[in-house]
Chain A
Amino acid sequence: MALTYDDVITKYEPVLGLEVHVELNTESKMFCACSTIFGAEPNTQTCPVCLALPGALPTVNEKAIESTIKIGLALNCSIAPFSRFARKNYFYPDMPKNFQISQYDEPICINGYIDVEIETDEGPKVFRIEIERVHMEEDTGKSLHVGGATGRIHGAEYSLLDYNRAGIPLVEIVTKIVPGTGKYAPEVAKAYVAELRDILRSLGVSDVKMEQGSLRCDANVSLRLIGAQTLGTRSETKNVNSLRSVERAIRGEMIRHAELLNKGERVVQETRHFQEETGLTRSGRSKEQAEDYRYFPEPDLVPVAPDAAWIETLRAALPERPSIHRKRLQQAWAVPDKEMAAMINADVLNIVEATVNLGADPTKARSWWLGEISRIANDKEVAIAALAITPTDVAEIVALVNAGELTDKLARQVIEGVIAGEGKPVVVIAARGIKVVNDDGALMAAIEKVCGEQPETAQKVRDGHLPAAGALIGAVMKETKGQADAARVRELLLGHLGQL
């Protein structure tokens, strides 16, 4: 009989630990000048250093250090005046040197925290997640095991190696243990990763795409009886590739642990792999025979000793924290929660803000970016930011609509033209001959024509059946090639048919 989540939380307290790996978006690799662009032909972005040819030496990418310090500062960490790289030794074909350059007992950032807010039964509640360390390391190459049942090295007929990823800068962000979340553990974990992702995005240091692996989360979970002091045995779930999976993986592991503990069995300390399809985890390699990585200070690299003044410059330039920024905007613009979430999901918040800063009404700015422009981006399968339309263009269009120079319908044509590369809004308007028909005489002529063509509908309106007016208005709009102001057409039409 399977346990329910409620069964678990009435008896046990979960303790979390989260390790997040972030690929930095530097142009070159951590220890050499090779490009980091994703998706190139295998083994084309390599050199003697990242292929570990005899005699080659690493040198540190200063930009990666800067990005890591920014991350540490944004997470309220102390920046170590002196930190060191260390070698983590183990043999694996996709690791060219057969050691990974990482940081061990002297990481660059330590002792930070971030606060995350979630909805609880008692309303919104803030949980503080303490950060133990933020350190730098390099990614490995990629192995493709061919012919095996599970894509693993065991049982494979042969393996292909691609070293393009070898040496891509990674930052690992490790929390201290997180107790006290109770039944909200899965939500807190998800909110933490989401908050982290937003912070990293606001810093501009990573693409933070979980599905492409530029942000990867390992979730450690253990259970202990409520009230117990000692920690239970943890499992470490890897391969958690979306925010939803973070939540599911933790929930699933809590249930799995509780089932074992209830049966009097013990939880094995091991790595587990999350499976998207089932929401369950499967056992990876057991850590019972713990690997001995023989860490020692990397003798090929001098210690990292960032200048204190430089750190302060970076601190002063940190952007406002995304969650605070959002709250501020939401209040100022009086946006409902749902709409706010829609803007965040579509990643248009900053663009909308820029548009508003140029004088546009927040509601109108939001509806253009989230509506018409998002739709075109979707059709073209590109990011909104990649479209050839700027906040300035949209602010201008909003102003033209307000001034009655454009109708919403015409505005859509202008937007389409701007995105198609026809030029700025005024240029598109001129070139396409777009203008609102403001001439009541011309409108009346069209109304009379339409009423003549649809006498039955016109009669219905005369008889007081107002919904029928829509069809006539539509026909008038068509007659005027969409350049009429629909509200004025309605007014004139109803007057004409004696309904005002």
Chain B
Amino acid sequence: MIRLSASEMAAKLANGETTSVELTQAHLDRIADVDTDVHAFLFVDTEGALAQAAAVDAKRAAGAKLAPLAGVPLALKDVMTQKGVPTTAGSKILEGWRPPYDSTVVTHLKNNDIVILGKTNMDEFAMGSSTENSAYGPTHNPWDLTRIPGGSSGGSSAALAAFEAPLAIGTDTGGSIRQPAAVTGTVGVKPTYGGVSRFGLIAFSSSLDQAGPCARSVLDAALLHEAIAGHDPKDSTSINAPVPQVVAAANSGDVKGMKIGVVKELNGDGYQSGVRTRFEESLELLAAAGAEIVEVSAPNFEYALAAYYLIAPSECSSNLARFDAMRYGLRVGDVDGASAESVMNLTREVGFGREVKRRIILGTYALSSGYYDAYYGSAQKVRTLITQDFNKAFEKCDVMVSPTCPTTAFKIGEKSNDPIAMYLNDIATIPVNMAGIGGMSLPSGLAPEDGLPVGFQIMAPAMADQRMYLVGAALEAALLTKWGAPLLSQAPVLAGK
């Protein structure tokens, strides 16, 4: 049962073949079974999940009209606040903190009767591409436990790939939903910026952060997308417009006459050969499905990574200033006679990991008087140029596509001491965040040389998220026909359990 898609589970719940309690228990059992190996979860809310499941079952028994995903379990990235449930953002500095309020995403999940199984592992404060930066130890890729599951939403992607949950919430600041989806053979969507409320999302970089759905199929992602999206008066940057009709798009998958733009700059040198093979194959399948493949250029994408590593650290240096031991979380050095300043310093020294400190220092420097224009100011100009590149390209095509990342999953520890190599992993995903548009990654097969999953990225203009789902559904259907079974059924590690 745990290997079904979320929509299949929902159907079985609706027709009485199973109950939410049964389904939830099956996933809790699976977590107990495999999570010592995978380490996708930081906290499993057994009681809360079963109580929620029982409540949904009771509602259903009483004949209440329920939401499409009612009773289906989900794994929540630990960066989202959930009232009363430990929320750490993967950091020591928040160890033991239980938020007194629900994030808007959690409110939506609860209103949709989606059962929250627990909180998933992540790079500390979402800073990283491997989940190795978690203060609570790395998560392992279910395809090969010696490899990374991507990051920062690596706990969410691994939970899906290990069948510990059929749905998950991730957040994406520079690729943190799409890259983990790519390297675990799952589907991840970063909606248009402002499409999903950030209220209750512990901020890394406010102007780039965006929560989104993670799943094992395009339709499941769409169902979850519609459940969590919509205008939120508690988030000033939330878009006040109707939610794009992504479920209808995922059900249709009709790409006849659509123009698909291949980004010249996001291909070729630096991309693993198997990644390129799978990408070319996907383009052929989309062409066969009736889409027109065109080439587009985005000359300013080459500056995206550098600009990102000024904007994101700058915002994080300010966003993370609130972790000062005064009101919540870790407190170190609070001995007789210690000043507030020394407690703040010691707490931050002990509570933050290396990567977080690296970015706080970088951002503090970039915002300093005398450097602001050269660094933060220039980075904002690059951001405008990237947006213009997208706008121009979208005059020639309906969506843009590229490989999600240059390589398949690397080994745990392989890039830990080389931050630049780590940062390069996000080269194809970052431009989407810089422009505030939508991006999706879905599996396009395995790289022949290492047998690991490769991701296919689809980018759509702001508030046209449904286009990603049209193209994603078309490609997914074509690939499924070719493979005969979902890609995840080939994952070797999972075969034994």
Contact = CB atoms under 8 A, between A and B. Distances in A.
B236 A301 contact: yes
A59 B231 CA distance: 13
Output the residue of B80, B99, B207, B321 with the most chain A CB within 10 A.
Answer: B321
A439 interface: no
Contacts of B103: 55
Contacts of B322: 52, 54, 96-98
B236 to A, nearest CB: 5
A55 B364 contact: no
B267 interface: no
Given A52-B327, A58-B236, A296 B367 contact: yes
A53 B235 contact: no
A260 interface: no
A93 B372 contact: no
B332 to A, nearest CB: 15
Contact of B364 (A59, A87, A159, A294): A294
B340 A60 contact: no
B327 A294 contact: no
Output the residue of B89, B94, B99 with the most chain A CB within 10 A.
Answer: B99
A153 B321 contact: no
Contacts of B464: none
A89 interface: yes
Nearest to B311: A299
A153 B340 CA distance: 9
Contacts of A5: none
A353 to B, nearest CB: 41
A91 interface: yes
Nearest to A97: B322
A55 B340 contact: no
B309 interface: no
B324 interface: yes
B423 interface: no
Contacts of A55: 80-81, 99, 103, 199-203
A97 B321 contact: yes
A59 B232 CA distance: 11
B101 A93 contact: no
B170 to A, nearest CB: 15
Contacts of A301: 236-237
A292 interface: yes
B328 A57 contact: no
B236 A296 contact: no
Contacts of B198: 57
Interface in B244-269: none
Contacts of B317: 89, 294
Interface string B97-121: 1011101000000000000000000
Contacts of B207: 299
B369 interface: yes
B321 A54 contact: no
A295 B99 CA distance: 29
Contacts of B205: 299
Contacts of B341: 91
A59 B233 contact: yes
A99 B368 CA distance: 14
A296 B100 contact: no
B327 A57 contact: no
B199 A89 contact: no
Interface in A65-89: 87, 89
B326 interface: yes
B367 A53 contact: no
A259 to B, nearest CB: 33
B318 interface: yes
A51 interface: yes
B92 to A, nearest CB: 14
Interface string A299-332: 1111000000000000000000000000000000
A54 B237 contact: no
Contacts of B364: 294
A99 B318 contact: yes
Contact of A93 (B80, B99, B100, B324): B324
A161 interface: yes
Nearest to B235: A57
B237 A302 contact: yes
A404 interface: no
Contacts of B97: 54
B321 A91 contact: yes
A381 B268 CA distance: 82
B376 interface: yes
Interface string A155-191: 0000101000000000000000000000000000000
A107 B493 CA distance: 59
Output the residue of A52, A57, A91 with the most chain B CB within 10 A.
Answer: A57
Contacts of B315: 296, 299
Interface string B350-371: 0000000000000010011100
Contacts of A294: 317-318, 364, 367-369, 372
A91 B322 CA distance: 9
Interface in A39-61: 48, 51-60
B234 A59 contact: yes
Given A296-B314, A296-B318, A300-B206, A59 B89 contact: no
A53 B101 contact: yes
B344 interface: yes
A51 B322 CA distance: 9
A161 B324 CA distance: 14
Contacts of B236: 57-60, 300-302
A55 B100 CA distance: 11
A14 B101 CA distance: 54
Contacts of A56: 101, 199-200
Contacts of A295: 367, 372
B131 interface: no
Nearest to B343: A93
A53 B328 contact: yes
A465 to B, nearest CB: 81
Contacts of B94: 54
B326 A48 contact: no
Nearest to B340: A93
Output the residue of A48, A99, A299 with the most chain B CB within 10 A.
Answer: A299
Contacts of B324: 91, 93, 98
B20 interface: no
Nearest to B337: A157
Interface of A: 48, 51-60, 87, 89, 91, 93, 96-99, 153, 159, 161, 292, 294-296, 299-302
7 contacts: A54-B323, A93-B324, A93-B344, A97-B322, A294-B368, A300-B206, A301-B237
Interface of B: 80-81, 87, 89, 94, 97, 99-101, 103, 198-203, 205-207, 233-237, 314-315, 317-318, 321-324, 326-328, 339-341, 344, 364, 367-369, 372, 376
Given A55-B80, A59-B234, 7 more contacts: A55-B203, A87-B318, A91-B341, A99-B321, A294-B317, A296-B314, A296-B372
- Smallest CB-CB A-B distances: 3 pairs: A98-B321, A294-B367, A299-B206
